């Protein structure tokens, strides 16, 4: 079953030129059924070549039409089969078109037109040498026609498969390179200093994801944690994700204010990305000396902050647009006091927007419950258990969207 599904997927994903070549190959291969069916008939008679050609075109045309037009709708397949079956039945029965003053226009069905009808094999055959030679000549020609069609179909099919395999191998190589580049951009999944521990985890829905997170120590007393989600997923999103990280790190060399960094980053992404692309972003700046955390979000889900002293949870978010939507936007930042034992959770919408079989989203409340239940475990374990909970909730190991989660413990 897996092989069949994969073959159907390849057929559905073929580009029009490759699909037309495949349809031609199928036409040749299945076109051999016309001559073969004729040779298998019990009647021995000379047939008109128009009858042979129509039967050949009908059998090949039915198969190639299915390849060309039946990828999207099952009812198209039924129409195609009905159309070509009607052609073959009409051709087998023959048709004559007549018009006269009394009866008007009419179509009369008749048996297959033959050049020289002969007796069937159930009766004694009395054939002249000329008739026997003509019969053998035609049947031999029909056999050669079938062999030629089969050879053409095989050669065309091999050419289609070779080009498709080469193209897919090239694409797989390019995707692998893009995936390797993206993985190299992801920081070490854990970071620890004397006052802070950070752990992160990212799982992509496809070979190349659009999520990314970063952990950047600015000094012994300052630490930046960021998370981003590029619209969509795949190679294009992965490339924009890499560009976002590069631009973000470049901005931090000149400015650390969350609002200012996002403002400059927004202009950069707007200039280098397509108009339908955008990036949601969350920026957290921790300062151990001032015991504060400055933050700014741009179209991103709220950060979950757990205050250890007050034993309560806050959802931190600023009303800024996603990056890349507008060339000039004003960005705001906010701050919160922190102390030892506090924690932050940053995540992408692949976590809270994951749906179960009933269409219900995982939601931020379930995410917050997970944090409460696992508050005594390490950051790495918390991230892993959250992702496992999302998979269990959806009932599938395959993710429909990239998911990324980062845990910060003070």
What are 180-236's pLDDT values in tens digits? 766 666 776 789 999 999 999 888 777 667 788 999 999 999 999 999 998 866 677
Percentage of residues in the chain with pLDDT exceeding 70? 82
Total domains in the fold of the chain: 2
Q: Are residues 134 and 246 in the same domain?
A: no
pLDDT (0 to 100) of residue 409: 94
Q: Which helix (H) or strand (E) holds 356?
A: none
Q: Are residues 219 and 343 in the same domain?
A: yes
Picking from 149, 178, 207, the residue at the C-terminal end of a domain is 178
The burial of 38, by beta-carbon neighbours within 10 Å (0-12 exposed, 13-18 middle, 19 or more buried), is given as buried
> Taking 60 as the threshold, does the pLDDT of residue 34 lie above it?
yes
Residues 289-301: what's their mean pLDDT?
A: 95
> Taking 50 as the threshold, does the pLDDT of residue 87 lie above it?
yes
Highest mean pLDDT, choosing among 16-20, 118-122, 127-131, 335-339: 335-339
Helices (H), 301-345: none
Q: Are residues 169 and 196 in the same domain?
A: no
pLDDT (0 to 100) of residue 309: 87
Residues 6+ apart with CB under 8 A from 171: none
Q: Whole-number mean pLDDT of the chain?
A: 82
Q: Are residues 117 and 249 in the same domain?
A: no
Picking from 153, 178, 203, the residue at the C-terminal end of a domain is 178
> Taking 50 as the threshold, does the pLDDT of residue 86 lie above it?
yes
What are 277-287's pLDDT values in tens digits? 899 999 999 99
Q: Are residues 137 and 20 in the same domain?
A: yes
> Taking 60 as the threshold, does the pLDDT of residue 125 lie above it?
no
Q: Are residues 67 and 193 in the same domain?
A: no
d(CA 408, CA 282): 13
pLDDT (0 to 100) of residue 296: 96
Q: Are residues 283 and 331 in the same domain?
A: yes
> Taking 50 as the threshold, does the pLDDT of residue 105 lie above it?
no
377 neighbors 385 (Cβ within 8 angstroms)? yes
pLDDT (0 to 100) of residue 347: 95
> Taking 60 as the threshold, does the pLDDT of residue 90 lie above it?
yes
Residues 167-186: what's their mean pLDDT?
A: 71
Q: Are residues 159 and 190 in the same domain?
A: no
> Taking 50 as the threshold, does the pLDDT of residue 271 lie above it?
yes
Picking from 178, 200, 235, the residue at the C-terminal end of a domain is 178
Residue 74 confidence class, pLDDT cut points 50, 70, 90? low
pLDDT (0 to 100) of residue 226: 95
Q: Are residues 200 and 163 in the same domain?
A: no
> Taking 50 as the threshold, does the pLDDT of residue 115 lie above it?
no
Would the pTM of this model clear 0.85, i.e. be above it?
no
What are 139-158's pLDDT values in tens digits? 888 888 889 888 998 988 88
Q: Are residues 206 and 145 in the same domain?
A: no
d(CA 64, CA 77): 11
Percentage of residues in the chain with pLDDT exceeding 90? 30
Distances (CA, A) of 340 to 1, 84, 368: 55, 77, 20
> Taking 80 as the threshold, does the pLDDT of residue 239 lie above it?
no
80 neighbors 59 (Cβ within 8 angstroms)? no
pLDDT (0 to 100) of residue 9: 64
Domain holding 289, by residue range, is: 186-409
244 neighbors 265 (Cβ within 8 angstroms)? yes
What are 327-348's pLDDT values in tens digits? 888 899 999 999 999 999 999 9
| DSSP string of 37-89, one letter each residue | HHHT-S---EE-HHHHHHHHHHHHHHHHHHHHH-SS-HHHHHHHHHHHHHHHH
- CATH number, domain of 219, equals 3.60.40.10
Q: Are residues 197 and 115 in the same domain?
A: no
Q: Are residues 26 and 59 in the same domain?
A: yes
């Amino acid at each position: 079953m897996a092989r069949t599904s994969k073959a159907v997927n390849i057929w559905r994903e073929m580009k029009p030129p490759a699909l037309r070549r495949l349809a031609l190959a199928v036409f040749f291969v299945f076109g051999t059924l016309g001559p073969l069916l004729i040779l298998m008939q019990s009647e021995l008679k000379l047939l008109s070549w128009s009858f042979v050609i129509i039967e050949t075109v009908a059998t090949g045309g039915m198969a190639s039409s299915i390849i060309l037009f039946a990828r999207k709708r099952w009812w198209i397949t039924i129409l195609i089969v009905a159309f070509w079956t009607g052609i073959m039945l009409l051709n087998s029965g023959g048709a004559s078109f007549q018009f006269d003053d009394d009866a008007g226009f009419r179509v009369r069905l008749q048996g297959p037109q033959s050049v020289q009808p002969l007796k069937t094999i159930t009766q004694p055959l009395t054939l002249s040498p000329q008739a026997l030679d003509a019969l053998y000549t035609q049947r031999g020609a029909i056999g050669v026609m079938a062999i030629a069609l089969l050879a053409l179909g095989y050669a065309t099919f091999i050419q289609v498969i070779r080009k498709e395999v080469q193209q897919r191998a090239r694409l797989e190589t390019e995707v692998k390179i893009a995936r390797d580049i993206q993985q190299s951009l992801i920081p070490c999944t854990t970071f620890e200093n004397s006052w802070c521990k950070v752990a992160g985890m990212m799982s992509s829905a496809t070979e190349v994801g659009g999520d990314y997170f970063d952990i950047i120590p600015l000094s012994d007393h300052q630490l930046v944690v960021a998370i981003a989600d590029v619209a969509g997923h795949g190679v294009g999103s992965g490339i924009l994700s890499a560009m976002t990280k590069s631009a973000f790190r470049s901005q931090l060399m000149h400015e650390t204010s969350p609002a200012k960094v996002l403002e400059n980053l927004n202009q950069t992404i707007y200039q280098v990305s397509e108009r339908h692309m955008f990036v949601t972003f969350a920026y957290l700046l921790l300062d151990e000396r001032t015991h504060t955390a400055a933050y700014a979000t741009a179209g991103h889900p709220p950060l979950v902050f757990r205050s250890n002293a007050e034993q309560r949870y806050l959802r931190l978010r600023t009303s800024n647009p996603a990056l890349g939507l507008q060339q000039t936007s004003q960005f705001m930042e906010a701050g919160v006091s922190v102390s030892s034992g506090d924690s932050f959770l940053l995540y992408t919408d692949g976590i809270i927007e994951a749906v179960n079989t009933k269409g219900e989203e995982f939601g931020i409340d379930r995410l917050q419950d997970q944090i409460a239940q696992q508050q005594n475990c390490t950051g790495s374990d918390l991230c892993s258990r959250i992702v496992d909970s999302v998979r269990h909730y959806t009932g599938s190991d395959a993710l429909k969207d990239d998911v990324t989660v980062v845990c910060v413990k003070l």
